[in-house]
Copies of this chain bind each other. A is one copy, B any other.
Amino acid sequence: MSRPTTKDLAKVAGVSLATVDRVLNERPGVRQTTVERVNEAIKAIDFVRDISAANLARSKEYKLVFLLPDHDDEFIDLILEAIAEANRSLTHERTIVTIIRAPANDPRRLVEEIDKLSATEVDGVAVMTPETPQVRDAISRMDARGIAVVALVSNQPNAESAYFVGINNEAAGRTVGQLMARFTGEKHGSVLVLTETMQSRDSQERRLGFDVIMAKYAQRLKVCPSMETYGDSVRTAQIVRSALQSRPSIVGIYLMNHDIYEAMQAIEALSPLQNVVIIGHELTAHTCARLIDGTLDAVISQDVGHLVRSSIRVLKAKITSIGTVASQERIRIEITLRENMPEERQTVGR
């Protein structure tokens, strides 16, 4: 037979529809013993509320917010695009996603934005921002206000209320290490590591994983200390130049951030890049182009569309206290070479 309805539930529990409704929606005025009777009946007939009918009746809309850094780079652009796409297909599911931008490096303003969000206007929030104590506390306050929270891309390991949607950065670093070890063959020499800043937990974790594998499988290679670019193209050029000059035998470069435009420019301007293995992060128009032209050997990435859709699913699941399919929400650490690049990216120029 078909799915049991509230009517069936009422019959089995031996109560009226009104009481079933009171129990299901946790309305007051039901004796504890009756509540239990209904709950037993729910288990007995395996009753599950029909969410679409419920949403229809409530004419409820899920109001979700993505809180993103306010600087613009290709990765953020990808996320914005993915959100726009999700929004298009989610109109059919009573879900509205809006975007709030806030300075990632100004905790005060960030916290201000978070505290502004009221449970009456917002049901769930996906937060993409570096971990700081202030942010952690602001997240806890949101949770207390009854707003669902997920941490996007950057984990918030100390905010238990925030489910993490993203990859394990230490494993990502290990993966890069393994690729670097194997792609460099038997060669000896040194490996550069460039990052925007080592302040961020993500960078630290990636570096950690990278070092573990390099130590294990590529002792022939000397891994240099991380060089920080601070996103400054002049500084980047300078750093790269002096590194390439002082170390003649560079065989590999790990670009730990997705915004690698300046670094690549500086590198290319300076040396013939034959036989230097370069590995970067995230599948942007720029990295794709570099994969195709062969400058970049591999890219480690996470599916941005998946990140966004998964965040939305998890938020909605939290809001309705429904379970999620764990395997569907797992974000994979993707390795992309020129050969397995998604076809729609292969034509995208820079």
Question: Measured between C-beta atoms, what is the minimum distance from A127 to chain B in Å?
Answer: 23
- Give the bracket for the number of chain A residues in contact with chain B: 35 or more
Question: Measured between C-beta atoms, what is the minimum distance from A11 to chain B in Å?
Answer: 19
Most buried by B among A51, A92, A177: A92
Q: Which B residues are CB-close (under 8 A) to A309? A: 328
Q: Are B344 and A92 within 8 A (Cβ)? A: no
* Given known contacts A56-B53, A327-B305, A178 and B338 CB-to-CB distance under 8 angstroms: yes
Give A340 to B301 CA distance when docked, in angstroms.
11
Q: Is the interface of A mostly helix, strand, loop or mixed?
A: helix
Q: Are A325 and B91 within 8 A (Cβ)? A: no
Residue A99 lies at the interface, judged by CB distance under 8 Å to chain B: no
- Can you offer 21 A-B residue contacts whose CB atoms are under 8 A? A48-B91, A50-B92, A51-B92, A52-B52, A52-B53, A56-B56, A82-B327, A171-B339, A174-B339, A175-B337, A175-B339, A177-B339, A182-B183, A185-B186, A305-B325, A332-B342, A333-B339, A333-B340, A334-B334, A334-B335, A335-B337
Residue A138 lies at the interface, judged by CB distance under 8 Å to chain B: no
Residue A55 lies at the interface, judged by CB distance under 8 Å to chain B: yes
Q: Are B175 and A327 within 8 A (Cβ)? A: no
Q: Which of the residues B89, B322, B340 comes within 8 Å of A171, measured between beta carbons?
A: B340
Encoded as 1 (CB less than 8 Å from any B CB) or 0, chain A from 300 to 324 comes to 1001010001000000000000100
Q: Which B residues are CB-close (under 8 A) to A56? A: 50, 52-53, 56
Residue A343 lies at the interface, judged by CB distance under 8 Å to chain B: yes
Q: Are B330 and A213 within 8 A (Cβ)? A: no
Q: Which B residues are CB-close (under 8 A) to A333? A: 339-340
Give A211 to B153 CA distance when docked, in angstroms.
38
